[in-house]
Structure formats: C-alpha cells, structure tokens
Structure 1
Amino acid sequence: MSSNDGSREDGIMTPKLTRRRFSLFALMAAAFLVLPLLSGPVAAQTLDELRAAGKVGERYDGYAVARDPNAAGMVEEINAKRREIYEAQATKQGVPASQVGAVYAGELWQKVPAGTWFLTADGEWRKK
C-alpha cells in the first residue's frame, strides 16, 4: 500500500515520485548543457546591438567587419546578403558593385548611431 508521502510500506519510493525526480534531473542537466551554447556573446544580438558594443563595424565599401571573432559568422551572412543587393543594383544601373557598396557605406554613416566604428579606405578605424 502507498502512503500520502509517496513511499510504500517497505520504504521504496513510488515510481511516480521517482519519475518526477528523474525528470527534474534531466531538465536541469539539459539546461546545464544547452544554456552555455545559447548565451554566447553574439547568440541573440542584433546588428545594431553588435555595432553599439563595438563587436561589429562598417567598412568604406559597404560591408560589415567583425571586430570580435565571435561575430564573424553573423558578419559573413550580412555581407553575403549585401553582396547580392549590391550586384543586383549594379546590374540595373550599369555600374560596378563596388560603387553601389561605397554609396551604401555613405548612407550607413548617416543612419547609424554615434559610437559605431567605421574602417576607412586607408585602414584606420573611426568612431562616429
């Protein structure tokens, strides 16, 4: 027979209580393993947040630059999208994609908040 405290008369825990402890343990173990992966420095940050933190800058040619190695993957994705846009616009206008990127860089300078880092054509970093 079972009592109200979850133990049987012979002192052994009931399967229901044992499953709860196991489930709690499994949940805690999963959280312990997964949370560090999710809490990386770039995991949930937007481009604007990365710029504000100085982890990502902008270049004179309209492409982003990872100033922090942890942002490199996101920067590669951003630059791939920008490259597609620049090439499509360049084809429409009959100009080189590099010219489109340079124009976009000028627009970025005007739009991004103060504190954003820009890499100039001569290789120097400037903070807006």
Structure 2
Amino acid sequence: MRILHSFLIAFSLAIGGLTLAAAPAAADALDDARAAGQIGERPDGYVAVVDAGAPASIKSLADSINRQRREAYQKIANEKGVPIEQIGALTAEKIIREKLSPGMFYMDASGAWKQK
C-alpha cells in the first residue's frame, strides 16, 4: 500500500507538470475547444473531437495534444515501470475530476459523450 501511495504522489506531481509543460498557446486552444464543446476528454487520457463535423483545425489540435500527451505518458510510464495505459487512465480521471468545467464533454467507459 505504501508503494501505491508513493506512486500516486509522484504521479500527481508529474501530471501537474504535464499540464504546465504544454505550450501555453496549445493549452489555451484546448481550453477554448473544450468550452465550445468541440473537444472532449476520453477515459484513456487522450482527447477526441466531439462533433465529427468540426473544422480541420480542431482535428489537428486534438492530434497535436494527443502526441504531446503520449510522449509525456510514455516518459512517466518508463520512469515508474508501469504500462502507459495505466498512466493515461489515471490522468483522464484527474483531468475529468479536476480540470473540466461544467458543460465540458468527457467520454464514459461505454464510449458515450457526457457533459460534466
């Protein structure tokens, strides 16, 4: 239990850094797209376009954010010796719980979009 607790503390610190490490312009664009209901959070720690009819720039933004997250998740997974999927899932829980504002979208485990 102590190892798990230590891991969760280290993970929380690392994820906090992940948010800060993102380029400010990308973070602002992501926040804007979330607020507009164009991009939502998936349960695996990545983002997806909520509306298939979204502009190409929104799809490109989602791809860019996912590349950045994958790199960060892989680094943390390598450092902690855990599967990258575990890092992504824990991050998704934290983002959905702490970062999403009411009205923003997230995908539930069944693949359905929900609003917070």
The normalised TM-score by structure 1 is 0.62
The percent identity for this pair of structures is 39
Number of residue equivalences: 84
Matched, 1:100 2:83: no
Letter in 2 for 1:115: G
Structure 2: stretches of 5+ with no match in the other structure? 1-27
Aligned-pair Cα RMSD in Å: 1.2
- Richer in helix (by share): 2
Matched, 1:111 2:99: yes
In structure 2, what is the Cα distance between the partners aligned to 1:51 and 1:111? 11
Cα deviation digits, residues 25-84 of structure 1 (max 9, x gap): xxxxxxxxxxxxxxxxxxxx7111110110000100110101243210010000000000
Structure 1: stretches of 5+ with no match in the other structure? 1-44
Aligned to 1:121: 109
Deviation, 1:125, is 1.1
Runs of 4+ aligned residues of structure 1 deviating over 3 Å after TM superposition are none
Aligned to 2:33: 50
In structure 1, what is the Cα distance between the partners aligned to 2:41 and 2:88? 11
Select the structure of larger CA radius of gyration.
1
Matched-pair contact (CA < 8 Å) for 2:48–2:62: yes
